[in-house]
Amino acid sequence: MNNTRNIILVGFMGTGKTTIGRALADQLKRDFIDMDIELEARAGKPIPRIFAEDGESVFRRMERDFIVELSRRNKLVIAAGGGIVLNPDNIRDFSATGHVICLKAAPDEILRRVSGSRHRPLLEQGDKAERIQNLLQQRQHFYDAIPCQVNTTGKTVREIVAEVRQLFHVGGARCAATVAARSAPPANPAP
């Protein structure tokens, strides 16, 4: 792959960003960045403690600053945190220098994948299945707005990585350009 643009995997928690990102980076011989792991290292504490002690807004600001930094680099495979879609500037900046691809999965598969996890503070309040359903509902339009999508439900890592790679071969320009165009402000905003 001569293309040096970053590859950024976005999507809801439990859609496979870390697993697929690591395998993809391995195949493409690129550096892999897991945003959550890096942010925890920078903060010197795990994400649930950042949320509890500093608040979600501080975490979102850390994510934002990190995305600005990552967007200036190239040849990376990046597993983004599930909430980065909440700020359209994040998708705009990632799309400027990379291919953004959204992984998705059925809610019951997401539940199965995150059921043992204790590091996702947004799923720790109340019933996990309900939280997933509510958050997915609130965020669906953000995820759906990303033109390049891969459904990971019921597929092996090998199959998903192959699908992601295929998408870049046939639709690389679409994964790069359309998101940026969509999140740019309209040329003539309505009064």
Binding range to ligand S3P, per CB under 6 A, among 21-29, 79-87, 90-98, 165-173 = 79-87
Choose which of 121, 136, 155, 178 interacts with ligand S3P (CB under 6 A). Answer: 121
The contact mask relative to ligand S3P for 40-59 (x = CB under 6 A, - = no) is: -------x------------
Q: Which long-range contacts link 132-136 to residues 24+ away (Cβ below 8 Å)?
A: 132/12, 132/13, 132/14, 132/107, 133/107, 135/12, 136/12, 136/107, 136/110
| Token pair for 61 | 């600001």
Considering the rule CB under 6 A, would residue 167 count as an interface residue with ligand S3P?
A: no
The answer to whether 122 contacts ligand S3P (rule: CB under 6 A) is yes
Q: Which is nearer to ligand S3P, 13 or 67 (CB)?
A: 13
**Max intra-chain CA distance, the chain:** 50
Q: CA separation (Å) from 82 to 36, 145, 172, 191? A: 10, 14, 22, 33
Among 7, 8, 9, 13, the residue binding ligand S3P under the rule CB under 6 A is 13
Residue numbers of the site for ligand S3P (CB under 6 A)? Answer: 13, 17, 36, 47, 81-83, 120-122
